[in-house]
Amino acid sequence: MSALLELEDVNKDYRVGGFLDRSTLHAVKHVSFTLDAEKPEIFTVVGESGSGKTTTARMILGNETPTSGTLRFMGKGIAQVRTRKERLDFMSRVQPIFQNPFEAFNPLTTLDYYLFSTARRFLGLKDKAAVDAATDKALQHVGLSLAEVRGRYSHELSGGQLQRIAVARALIPGPKLIVADEPVSMVDASLRMSIVNLFRELRDTLGVSIIYITHDLSTAYYISDRVIIMHKGDVVEAGRAEEVLGNPTHEYSRALRSAVLPPDPVVASAIIREKLRAI
Amino acid sequence: MFKILRDLLRYNIEFAIGFVLTLAIFLFALAHFWAPLPDNAIYLLPPDMPPSAQYWFGTTSRGQDVLWQMSSAIWNTMLFGLSVTILSRLLAVAVGMISGYLGGKWDEFLMTINDTMIALPNIPILLLVYFVMRDQMSWPVLALTAALLGWNYDARLIRSVTLSLRNREFTRHAVFAGMSVPQILVRQHLPYVMPVIFFTAMNNLIWAIGLEVTLSVLGFSDINRPTIGGMIYWANQHQAIIAGIWWWIAFPIIAVVLLFLGLFLLAISVNEYIDPRSRLSRMGA
Amino acid sequence: MLRVEGLKAYYQMNYFGVRREVRAVDDVSLTIKRNEIYGIAGESSSGKSSLIKTIAGAITPPLRVVEGSVKFDFGGKELDVYAQRPAMKAARWKHLSYVMQGSMNVLNPVRKVKHAFHDFAFKHMGLSEGEFRARVESHLQRIGLDPRVLESYPHQLSGGMRQRLTIGLATVCEPEFIIADEPTTALDVLVQQDVLALIKGVQQRMGSSIIFVTHDMTVHAAIADRIGIVYAGRLVEEGPTLDVFQRPQHPYTAHLIASLPRIGDTRKRVALGGKPPNLADPPSGCRFHPRCPLAVDKCKSENPPLLARNTGRVACWRAGEVEAA
Amino acid sequence: QDFIAGIPRNEALIIQGPAAQNAEWFNLWAPGGGATTNGNQQLTADTLWWINPEGTGDAAWTNALAADKPVYNDDFTQMTVTLKEGIFWSDGVEFTADDVKYTVDTQIAHPGMGWSAPFTVNVESVEVPDRNTVVFNLKAPNSRFHTLFTVRWNAAWIMPKHVFETVDDPLTYAANPPVSLSAYVLHSYDTAGNWVIWKLRDDWQRTSIGQGLTEAPQVKYVVYRNAGNPDARVIEQMNHNLDVINDIAPEGMFTIARDAADSTAYWFPGFPFAHPDPTLPSVLFNHQVEPFNNKDVRWALALMIDIRSVAMGSYRGAANLAALSTPPTGSAITDYYQPMQEWLVNYEVNTGTRTIKPYDPTTAEQIAALVKPQWGDQIPSDPTQLKAMFGEGWWKQDLAAAAELLQKAGFTKNGNQWMKPDGTPFTIKLMVEGDAIPTLARAGTIIAQQWSMEGIQTTVDVAGPTNGQRLGGGDYEAAIYWTVETWGGHPDLSFFLESYHSDFIKPAGEVQPPRNLTRWQDERLDQIIEANRTVGFDDPKVVELGMDYLKLAVEEMPFIPLMAYNKFAPFDTTYWTGYPSAANPYAASGPNWSNLRYMIVALEANPNAPAAQ
Amino acid sequence: MDGFAKYLVRRFFQFFLVIFLGVSLAFLITNLSPVDPVEQSVSLMTSFGATDPRSVELMRSALEELYGLQGTMLDQYLSFWGRVLRGDFGPSLSAFPTPVMSLIMGALPWTIGLLTLALIITWSLGNLLGALAGYYRSNVLLKLSGAAVMALHPVPAYIIGLVLLLAFGFIWPVLPISGGAQMNLQPGFTFDYIRSLILHGTLPALTLVLVGIGSWFISMRSLVSNIVTDDHVVYAELGGVNSSKIFSQYVARNALLPQLTGLALSLGNVFGGAVITEFLFNYPGVGRLLIQGIYRGDYSLVLGVTTMSIISVAVAVFIIDLLYPLIDPRVRLG
Ligand SMILES: Nc1ncnc2c1ncn2[C@@H]1O[C@H](COP(=O)(O)OP(=O)(O)OP(=O)(O)O)[C@@H](O)[C@H]1O
Ligand SMILES: Nc1ncnc2c1ncn2[C@@H]1O[C@H](COP(=O)(O)OP(=O)(O)OP(=O)(O)O)[C@@H](O)[C@H]1O
Ligand SMILES: [Mg+2]
Ligand SMILES: [Mg+2]
């Protein structure tokens, strides 16, 4: 098997603290995992806030260098990506999707600018018609069309649509991997579903691997192939989604699992009442 | 462009007042091209005439019509002030944005230069430069020197705005959309920096005009070219205030105040127009 | 306890000749009883926050109340939020407290937390400085916060702690009514559970009424007695929590409940098609009709009234069919 | 509260002084030390002789420390001086010939000291045969050696030997407090340099000035204060906080004359008020720059000037015009100006096509007519009086002749622009100092305008503090500046003329010694200078040689003399009266001149002064 | 702690770099100045006396030696730094041989006294008015005072000073218009002297206040109008906190923090003097010293003042950078 993405004992430390009380924070500790190039999958990272999910994602995207350990994308060390050309090349294979669809687009820029810019730069297209065609194709994948998007601003579209456009944009260069950091945490339940469904489609039809970062265990369960659970920078549990989430073994995973409230008033209120009594 | 102007004029009373004031002063200044006498001609009119129907703003002790002197003085001073302001804004924007966006070594390098410039005291440096340049010290050179001294504090302000934009998601998104650094800075960040630019431009303009006056008062100016500072200089040479020739100084100062108020009103109302916050509410976001 | 009648609150904007009116709250009526937790749910941008702001009397231009009234009943005295402003101001924190959306950022960043308690609550409690401090400390302890946080600056505390603090701040005077907007959003699940338990506990102890907003249905499931569902500025359904979850009456509610994923269940869920309505130019008739699978012609032209049905109320011409579907 | 703490206002004379950079410094003999015009030089220093720049003939001469005029040997290689007796330093030590010798010897030994250079150049040795006699043996014949000890503005002041003997390095010695050889001593001073107060010596009789007085001077305190900018000065005088203003713009003077006429005295009782200094503001040309080396061009530029506008523009008419190259003040009027009128009237200039007589003896009347509307009765109609006010006459503006002269020099006119013989436009940068000498800057702008109107684009270049250097280094085309300075009270022109010798002219770019800033070189001039060196100071031939020089200067027009440097120095009469004036020019050219000491001892308290509180 | 130490070292390094660059630049410009102090002295000494050209030559070379102006620019640059490190700017050329340092030290107390006081008044008043005007937007009195400040803002310092001079020195002559204290008054902690200091300082200080107030006012007002929409202010309003408390503790306090940097910078600038005001009121401070130095070509003095000013601004910025985390609890060093 050839690896798409390999993380080997990746660590990241931050210096934090104020004027006099500085200390080192180990944001990510000894993280290792591998994604297979041949077998696209949805690889989910879950964990409480501050557990190092975003930091890991940023390292994969090359926005952050690890304190130690190596990250390799298609055999090449991400840290070795230096020149602008290499960087563009890397970005054409690895693309991000951000948490807040309203934040990810500058409200003062038309949305198509992002799409066109991506097409021009990564596909090297000069011709207007070719750019339009490539853009439209990508939008079709997410169930939209260029006609609907052209000349519009982010506030003119719903969060779900924006997130789809973000995905479409990420698809334009024909990436192998999409890193989605909490792509649904800001939207309501219905929209959530439309986006995670889209991920599933991409994996199946375009063969794109997706690293899906979330603290929503329910959607994680819903779409993931594999899951890792992070806690204070450590990966505490990893494996197939049904196993890790359906039947967690690590203490923290179990706590997390049990904290998930089901959308059922009877069970949910009982859990809270239980909790109340415990205090 | 025209539509924006129309909108502003119609719906923003501050803009309307500012516009009228500025336009009036501008037209007044422009009129000097049609002045009946060359602007440095002296003693062609009776000196020291108080304001009257014939000489609206009186005449100077040098036998010049204050009206026409003012007209060219405002023109020249405006030219100088705006040149300084524009040049220094360009510098401040370039340094502030690049420093804030690129960070790291660039930031350290640019901010060290910036801090050095902040520490340089303006007046002595300008006067020394004046000596070095001597008769090559034309107003554009002076404007350039002043601009070089007048950008640094504002560059810091702009840097801090860019710094906060750098970590916004849309910036990261833009990077992955393949946008180049200039594209990101100009298309994505500049709109957010615009209000700072406008706001600081007003203070810078006043500073530049004040500088010109200061240099003139200290006797460092091109006396062949009427400016506000130049008028004060000559009025001073003729002890106009003591001699009671108040109109020689009062009218130009009133004009400067009006010009400033006009530009200020324009700046705040245009600011409101271009401020991303209000622009967004206008767009309906 | 709270009676909202025919409330309309619009964002009325006039920028350089562009007039816009966003009908964020459009003809909402509801009542909340003593000792009740009422949850408001709905799509993003459906006007939940606007509604609750209007109820709290916390509106600033361009949001304006166009019609209707909001009346509280504190100890038998009726208080009209918009007609009796001075009385309302005096009642704040004493009878009525408010937890704003994004309440992690509502504390003054340059002052220690203790000053916030002093500024907000001291004058209502009629205690000496020492007693007041003791009371605040014991209150914080009760909600699981170390009293030492009082000596901290907000930025020194984690998001969860700040969230708890604002809840502590909102409850320290033991008001009869608490209004909360997204009190648990942005918290991770473990903390969220604590905070929910906290709210519930405080409410039970003081017997106050709570109205709160969130789009996270599991939160409603956990603590709300009754739920109101808002769609496009209107209350489209209301009823006891259990009933709404189990027998939704309105097609939107039904869809919402159906789309909730559960661990152990990977059946495909369908997302709602179409686009959220534009509140500046809402669809005619029933506002849900462009996205409604059951819509008929009548829905396009006539606005369904909110009528009692079963244990709650619903605004749908085809409420009967929903249950059947 | 008193205006000056602890000093009764009616015993103090308040004079406008400079802001002292180095207020603690009172050493007059070391360079750059501090202010000298703050009373230090005027009230404590003394030397052998004084010349009153306003005087004429013998009356202008005063023997101060010397008992008599200098006595030279036949070939002017030795000068003998007899000193007065009974003169004491303020610390009680008697003044003797040793002090004089010490002064010369010490300065020769310390090249950095103020008068070191001229002593080194001139003096072989100094002998003191007895305590009242000094004999100077000179290195070469010099009939003007005594002028080093003759005060016009200043001179080599005598050093207190008994004080400096105890000092390691006279160059770093602050002389604080200074020991006085004159009638006043230091009372107190401001370390920030804004004021110095001098007090009458108890033993004022034991000074050269005191010996000539019969009664005690009434001014007990002399206060030199830096009264701020010109507006502040005027205000202070009108508030009676400043008795003597050194210099203000004409308009300031007119304001005082208008608003405080009853309490102010002037040099002239009415317009033009001003006192003419014996210096000569002129248009300088750099003779090392084309085309200013051409006398026809210089004459053409002179004839393009309408001197009436220049007088109005620079001094609002209050100018004392000069056609000759010596200041029209003091004895020069009777020695040169009046005797040479006829010559001037008949003087002819060849324009290349014809000859003209450019001199206009009626300019005074013309200016009088221009200022009459404003000043009315203050302007007399008697031509003699007018000439005393506005000068004897000047060159008539003659544009046609100027054009002819330019054509003669090979210039052509293209539209309204004169082209040089090489075909390039003739433009001029006219340098002025600016702020420091405002009236000259004003004159510059008006002359530039006149030349520009006649087709020679002229811009005014303000040189500021670099003015002196640029003039010295020949880094200019044309300039307005002082050229000729004279004794004022004596016809001898060696004061400036010596430095005009071609021996001292430097190549372009190198610094030229002061005075001959135009670098004018002429054999005939050299001959005059050499001849003058060999005649005695008081020899009648001095005047003849002076006239030769003046005629040569008219012919060559090396620079265009404009007028005397008029100084507006109003005196407040609220507390003091008896100030010098044109009618009684007993002293004081300008209040910063050392001569002022004669005014101070002559002032009388105004009996109507407000009583001290 | 190591991080902080590292930061401190880096910041220190930058601090010295700023001073080094600034002073070197000032040295360069100063030395390019064509004004030659020797020529200035020569012309001072010769302009009023009979001058024998041979003696002028002699005088010139003697002065050059005396002033220590021989050697290349590099030599002078190196010896300049050598001296600066010992806190010595060499002898003044226009007040030879007095050290530049003692001239500056003589002028500095005046400048610091006047400017610091005026700055503090200006800063407090400008910020107070600006904050009030930003918070109570509809108050008529504040609007009027705002308009007055705005109209005053563009008027050049010289004119403001001149008008004050005329008003209080002439039309209604109640205040002294020139100098730092009454003549012939013994400096000391006496009632008379202090009274006189205050009287003499009033007009220059008033000028500085009127000149400076505008920019503080404007920036404070805009800071405040941004802060009033911040969540914590809105929340306090909803919490029924009384408005004077909101103004002082929630609005003004937060807006003042950025203004502190400006204050520090201005305090640093105090060492350069207030040229126009000191010049106009003949105030014996550094600004006047500087102008005299420039007029007389005394570049050791000009360089001395400039260097002092550069160092003091750099120090002020450095100190405020280090103190800021203590003043503003939010700031964390990166
Ligand atoms: N630039 C930084 N400097 C210092 N500390 C940082 C930085 N970025 C992240 N951290 C810290 O590293 C830890 C991990 O952060 P990270 O953002 O990766 O967590 P996360 O799992 O994404 O949390 P969340 O669910 O809140 O997004 C946190 O404690 C965070 O405060
Ligand atoms: N200040 C404002 N000016 C104009 N329109 C606004 C403003 N605030 C909100 N709106 C509009 O009012 C509508 C309702 O917004 P509101 O914040 O009440 O929704 P919400 O249901 O609370 O959404 P969320 O779940 O995102 O918090 C939206 O269409 C929004 O765009
Ligand atoms: Mg994260
Ligand atoms: Mg909301």
Quick: pLDDT tens for B194-215: 888 988 888 899 899 989 988 8
pLDDT of the residue at E44: 64
In percent, how much of chain D has pLDDT > 90? 61
In percent, how much of chain E has pLDDT > 70? 91
Tell if the CB–CB gap between E249 and C115 is shorter than 8 Å.
yes
Residue E333 binned pLDDT confidence (cut-offs 50, 70, 90)? very low
Whole-angstrom distance, CA of residue C301 vs CA of residue C285: 4
pLDDT tens figures, D309-350: 999 989 988 899 999 999 998 889 999 999 999 999 999 999
Q: Determine which helix (DSSP H) or strand (DSSP E) holds E311, and give its type and residue range.
A: helix E299-327
Q: Is the CB of A50 under 6 A from ligand 1?
A: yes
Distance from the Cα of E289 to chain C's closest Cα (Å) equals: 43
Tokens 């009103």 locate to B265
Superfamily per CATH, domain E102-297? MetI-like (1.10.3720.10)
Select the more confidently predicted residue: A23 or A100: A100
Core vs surface per residue C134-168: b (16+ CB within 10 A) or e: ebbbebbeebebeeebbebbbeebeebbbbbbbbb
Q: Please, which residues bridge with residue D491 across strands?
A: none
Phi first, then psi, for residue E241 (nearest 5°) are -70, 140
Average pLDDT, chain E: 85
Range with the poorest average pLDDT among C144-148, D296-300, D548-552, D586-590: D586-590
Residue numbers in B near E156 (CB within 8 A): 209-210, 213-214, 217, 228-229, 232, 253, 256
Q: Which of C13, C17, C280 sits opposite B11 (nearest CB)?
A: C17
**Which amino acid residue places its CA nearest to atom 4 of ligand 1?**
A14
Tokens of B185: 């800075």
Vertex E331, ends E329 and E334: CA angle to 5°? 145
**CB proximity under 8 Å: A 202-261 to B:** none
pLDDT of the residue at A213: 92
Tell if the CB–CB gap between E40 and D192 is shorter than 8 Å.
no
Average pLDDT, chain B: 88
Residue D241 binned pLDDT confidence (cut-offs 50, 70, 90)? very high
Q: Residue D189 contacts by C-beta under 8 Å, 6 or more apart in sequence?
A: D23, D195, D196, D197
Tell if the CB–CB gap between A118 and B276 is shorter than 8 Å.
no
Tokens of B103: 């960070």
pLDDT of the residue at B65: 92
Strand order in the sheet with A3-17: A22-36, A3-17, A68-73, A76-77
Residue numbers in B near D477 (CB within 8 A): none
To test the ligand 1 pocket, which listed residue (A16, A22, A103, A256) has its Cβ within 8 A of the most ligand atoms? A16
Question: Most distant CA pair in chain C: distance in Å?
Answer: 67
3-state secondary structure of D524: helix
Q: What is the mean pLDDT of residues A111-118?
A: 92
Whole-angstrom distance, CA of residue C179 vs CA of residue C202: 13
Neighbours of D493 (CB within 10 A): 28
In a 10 Å sphere around its CB, with 0-12 CB exposed, 13-18 middle and 19+ buried, how is residue C78 labelled?
exposed
Tokens of B247: 């109109």
3-state secondary structure of D561: strand
Give the distance (Å) from ligand 1 centre to CA of residue C43. 29
Q: Which of A99, A107, A114 sits opposite B285 (nearest CB)?
A: A107
Counted domains in chain B: 1
pLDDT of the residue at B83: 95
Q: Residue D244 contacts by C-beta under 8 Å, 6 or more apart in sequence?
A: D13, D14, D15, D16, D569, D571, D572, D591
Tokens of D193: 């340099």
Closest CA to B89 of B214, B267, B275, B212: B267
Whole-angstrom distance, CA of residue D224 vs CA of residue D190: 10
Q: Rounded to 10 degrees, what is the CA torsion of C23, C24, C25, C27?
A: 30
In percent, how much of chain A has pLDDT > 90? 34
CATH of the domain at B54: 1.10.3720.10
Q: Is the pLDDT of residue B285 over 70?
A: no
Whole-angstrom distance, CA of residue D605 vs CA of residue D573: 9
Q: Is the pLDDT of residue E177 over 80?
A: yes
Against chain B, the chains showing at least 3 CB pairs within 8 Å are A, C, D, E
| ipTM of the modeled complex | 0.86
Average pLDDT, chain D: 90
Tokens of E86: 């010992």
Residue E51 binned pLDDT confidence (cut-offs 50, 70, 90)? low
Average pLDDT, chain A: 87
Whole-angstrom distance, CA of residue B237 vs CA of residue B239: 6
Whole-angstrom distance, CA of residue E293 vs CA of residue E107: 13
Q: Is E38 at the interface with chain D, CB within 8 A? A: no
Q: Is C110 at the interface with chain E, CB within 8 A? A: yes
Per-residue pLDDT of chain C (325 residues; tens, 9 = 90+): 889 999 999 988 776 667 778 888 989 999 999 899 999 998 877 888 899 999 988 888 788 899 999 999 887 888 888 888 888 888 888 888 888 877 677 888 888 889 999 998 888 888 899 999 999 998 888 777 888 888 888 888 877 788 888 888 888 888 889 999 888 876 778 888 888 888 888 888 888 899 999 888 889 999 999 999 999 899 999 999 999 999 899 999 998 888 888 887 778 887 777 777 888 888 888 999 988 888 888 889 889 999 988 888 999 998 877 766 5
Q: Is the separation of the CB atoms in E282 and D228 below 8 Å?
A: yes
Tell if the CB–CB gap between D235 and E62 is shorter than 8 Å.
no
Ramachandran region, residue D412 (left: φ > 0; alpha: ψ -120 to 50; beta: rest): beta
Distance from the Cα of C19 to chain B's closest Cα (Å) equals: 9
Q: Is the CB of A47 under 6 A from ligand 1?
A: yes
Q: Is the CB of A231 under 6 A from ligand 1?
A: no
**Which amino acid residue places its CA nearest to atom 29 of ligand 2?**
C45
Ligand number nearest to the C-alpha of C215: 2
Closest CA to D384 of D365, D399, D405: D365
Q: Is E252 at the interface with chain C, CB within 8 A? A: no
Whole-angstrom distance, CA of residue C22 vs CA of residue C17: 16
Q: How far is CA D34 from the centre of its chain?
A: 21
How many angstroms separate the first and last alpha carbons of chain B? Answer: 22
3-state secondary structure of D499: helix
**DSSP characters for A53-91?**
HHHHHHHHTTSS--SEEEEEETTEEGGG--SHHHHHHHH
CATH of the domain at A187: 3.40.50.300
Q: Is the CB of A189 under 6 A from ligand 1?
A: no
pLDDT of the residue at B282: 66
Tell me, what DSSP letter sits at residue C128? -
pLDDT tens figures, E277-330: 998 999 999 998 988 888 877 878 888 999 999 999 999 988 888 887 777 776
Distance from the Cα of E331 to chain C's closest Cα (Å) equals: 9
pLDDT of the residue at D367: 93
Q: In which domain, by residue range, is A160 found?
A: 3-277
**Which amino acid residue places its CA nearest to atom 28 of ligand 1?**
A50
Q: Is the pLDDT of residue D32 over 60?
A: no
Residue A21 binned pLDDT confidence (cut-offs 50, 70, 90)? low
**DSSP characters for E100-140?**
HHHHHHHHHHHHHHHHHHHHHHHHHHHHHHHHHHHHSTT-H
Residue numbers in E near B206 (CB within 8 A): 153-154, 214-215
Tally of CA atoms within 13 A in the half-sphere of A261 that contains its CB: 31
Chains E and A touch (3+ CB pairs under 8 A): yes
For the CA atoms of chain C, what is the radius of gyration?
A: 21
Give the distance (Å) from ligand 3 centre to CA of residue D440. 76
Q: What are the sequence ranges of the domains in chain E? A: 102-297
pLDDT of the residue at D126: 96
Nearest ligand 2 atom to alpha carbon C278: 29
Distance from the Cα of E314 to chain B's closest Cα (Å) equals: 6
Tokens of C14: 């006039």
For the CA atoms of chain A, what is the radius of gyration?
A: 20
Residue B3 binned pLDDT confidence (cut-offs 50, 70, 90)? confident
Core vs surface per residue B24-41: b (16+ CB within 10 A) or e: ebeebbebbeeeeeebbb
Q: Please, which residues bridge with residue D80 across strands?
A: D71, D135
Neighbours of A133 (CB within 10 A): 14
Counted domains in chain A: 1
Q: Is the pLDDT of residue E144 over 60?
A: yes
**Which amino acid residue places its CA nearest to atom 30 of ligand 2?**
C45
Q: Which of A114, A153, A155 sits opposite B177 (nearest CB)?
A: A114
**Which amino acid residue places its CA nearest to atom 20 of ligand 2?**
C45
Tokens 């009385």 locate to C87
pLDDT of the residue at E334: 39
Whole-angstrom distance, CA of residue D307 vs CA of residue D311: 6
Q: Verify cis geometry, omega within 30 degrees of 0, for the bond prior to C62.
A: yes
